[in-house]
Amino acid sequence: MDAIPPITAGADTRAPRPPRSLHRFANPGRFLRASGRVLPWLTAAAIAVLAVGLAWALALSPPDWQQGETVRIMYVHVPMAWLAMGGYLGLALASATALVWRHPLADLFARELSPVGAVVTALCLATGSLWGKPMWGTWWVWDARLTSVLVLFFLWLGHAALTRAFDEPDRGARAGAILALIGVVNLPIVKFSVDWWNTLHQPASVTRLGAPAMHVDMLYPLLVCALGFTLAFAAVVLARTRAAVMERRIRALELARARREDGGATP
Amino acid sequence: MTRKRRRLYILLLCALGLGSATALTLTAFQDNLVFFRSPSDIAAQPPPADRAFRLGGLVETGSVERAMGADGRPTARFRVTDGAHTITVAYTGVLPDLFREGQGVVTLGRLGPDGVFRASEVLARHDETYMPPEVADALKRAGHWNPSQGAAPPAAGWNTLDPAAAPRQPAGSRGS
């Protein structure tokens, strides 16, 4: 049995509760049980909040005084931008946890997070481009905000590719974690690019010192949409991580059976 | 020192080194990272002749002259200002929808010897204020704000404003 990777060890037996709270979920059996209970509620909440938020934002909220109906792109673009950055922060935290504390689930979580993060960042870039053409007069410019978000997109893609590029999953996870942590320097650049340098992109409306520069009739639907997309993002990543844990378990069981049959054939 | 703690310190040290390296690089390239230059930048550091660059600022109120060119394409002349300095811009082509007096613009072109900036591209730059048209109308009606004169008043005054209940000034003192 000692050939089985440590992640599956004790999957079926209830291990005594370790002192570190983070490491409680290093036990994949406990993680699967807890996440299996949470996931249906998370999915239902995401669908409900998104339905309310999108109906409010796309149909019921007022148009903007200068952008007219085009402003409705904001209700998708801004949550995607927040998720692209917040998700990357999550990736960095998971990578630090994996590197420092060797938490086995943190590797899997990071690996399953990055394709979702890449999709979200691509949606942010695509909606921004669609919004830029009618408002600014151009699909794309190389200003500091747009360029740094493009770099963020490449970091997501690079992490997703790098973690899958090795035959040994552990080495891929290590390389991906280092890449993710190096990429963290890009986060403050994305956030503050509109304040540090002059850009075509306007400064932040909501996350700024003082009151948001947005009327509540548009701010509240934006926040509901952001909550809905965040719940959906969390549900997708949790479901992917569960699938990855189960996949790894199946692979370990098959390895163990193959080894046992091997051992039975040649005594 | 446990191995976990040592790894944590190595990680923090690397983060510190990488962070300061990035900060120093960005500071060194500060001037190259700007997307456009303001009229004051141009006045302080005139660019070499015939070098294309981006000029950004606000369209000065009352400065826009539109005409129809000989080839049937619309032409526009306007002044771009940042408060301290002003540059006249000549442009042939269709202006973006958001173009208006008091609005931010970014133009790409060359500064001629006569001091006129000949733009080949005009992009509109909008500010970060979002409000329903009724709220904008109420603010304008009450005389708090004229969009051609500059940015909206501080958001605390209007971000919960109900346009139906907004104060109305007597007709004589109404703005544009």
Is any Cβ of chain B less than 8 angstroms from the Cβ of A216? yes
Left if phi > 0, otherwise alpha if psi is -120 to 50, otherwise beta: which for A186? alpha
pLDDT of residue B48: 80
**If pLDDT is split at 50, 70 and 90, which confidence band does A23 have?**
low
Chain A residues near residue B152 by CB distance under 8 angstroms: 213
Q: Which amino acid is at A188?
A: P
First CA to last CA distance, chain B: 72
Q: Are the C-beta atoms of B131 and A215 separated by less than 8 Å?
A: yes
Is any Cβ of chain A less than 8 angstroms from the Cβ of B160? yes
Q: Which H or E run includes B111? A: strand B104-111
Q: Are the C-beta atoms of A121 and A186 separated by less than 8 Å?
A: no
pLDDT of residue A65: 85
Q: Regarding predicted confidence, which is higher, B143 or B53?
A: B53
Mean pLDDT of chain B: 81
Q: Which of A242, A148, A215, A204 is nearest to B22 (CA)?
A: A148
Cβ distance of B106 and A200 shorter than 8 Å: yes
Tens of pLDDT, residues A168-201: 888 999 999 999 999 999 999 999 988 888 888 8
First CA to last CA distance, chain A: 17
Chain B residues near residue A74 by CB distance under 8 angstroms: 130
Cβ distance of B96 and A182 shorter than 8 Å: no
Name the residue facing A136 among B125, B147, B158 (closest C-beta): B125
Which chain B residue has the Cα nearest residue A143? B35
Best residue of B16, B35, B126, B139 to probe chain A, by most A CBs closer than 10 Å? B35
Q: What is the DSSP letter of B118?
A: E
CA distance B116 to chain A (A): 22
Chain B residues near residue A197 by CB distance under 8 angstroms: 30, 33-35
Going from N- to C-terminal start, the domains of chain B cover 8-32, 39-125, 133-171
**If pLDDT is split at 50, 70 and 90, which confidence band does A13 have?**
very low
Both tokens of B30, joined, read 């500060």
Say yes or no to pLDDT of B175 above 80: no
pTM score of the predicted model: 0.84
How far is A74 from A132, CA to CA, in rounded Å? Answer: 11
A·B CB contacts under 8 A: 131
CA distance B167 to chain A (A): 17
How far is B145 from B138, CA to CA, in rounded Å? Answer: 9
Q: CB burial class (10 A; 0-12, 13-18, 19+) of residue A207? A: exposed
Q: What residue spans of chain A are helical by DSSP H? A: 28-55, 74-101, 104-135, 144-163, 169-183, 186-196, 216-265
Chain A residues near residue B154 by CB distance under 8 angstroms: 210-211
**If pLDDT is split at 50, 70 and 90, which confidence band does A41 have?**
very high
Q: Are the C-beta atoms of A32 and A242 separated by less than 8 Å?
A: yes
Provide the residue count of chain A. 267
Tens of pLDDT, residues B110-134: 888 888 898 999 999 888 888 888 8
Tens of pLDDT, residues A110-148: 999 999 999 999 999 999 999 998 888 889 998 889 999
> B 33-92 residues with CB below 8 A of A?
33-36, 38, 56
**If pLDDT is split at 50, 70 and 90, which confidence band does B171 have?**
very low
* CB burial readout B23-36, b (16+ within 10 A) else e: eeebeeeeeebbbb
Q: Regarding predicted confidence, which is higher, A191 or A66?
A: A191
Cβ distance of B18 and A182 shorter than 8 Å: yes
Best residue of B42, B128, B145 to probe chain A, by most A CBs closer than 10 Å? B128
Say yes or no to pLDDT of A63 above 50: yes
How far is A223 from B162, CA to CA, in rounded Å? Answer: 20
CA distance A39 to chain B (A): 32
Say yes or no to pLDDT of A3 above 50: no
pLDDT of residue A154: 95
Provide the residue count of chain B. 176
Backbone angles phi, psi at B130, to 5 degrees: -125, 125
Reduce the DSSP state of residue B54 to 3 states and report it.
strand
Which chain A residue has the Cα nearest residue B19? A185
CATH superfamily of the B39-125 domain: Nucleic acid-binding proteins (2.40.50.140)
Chain B residues near residue A134 by CB distance under 8 angstroms: 97
CA distance B176 to chain A (A): 16
Cβ distance of B97 and A189 shorter than 8 Å: no
Cβ distance of A64 and B133 shorter than 8 Å: yes
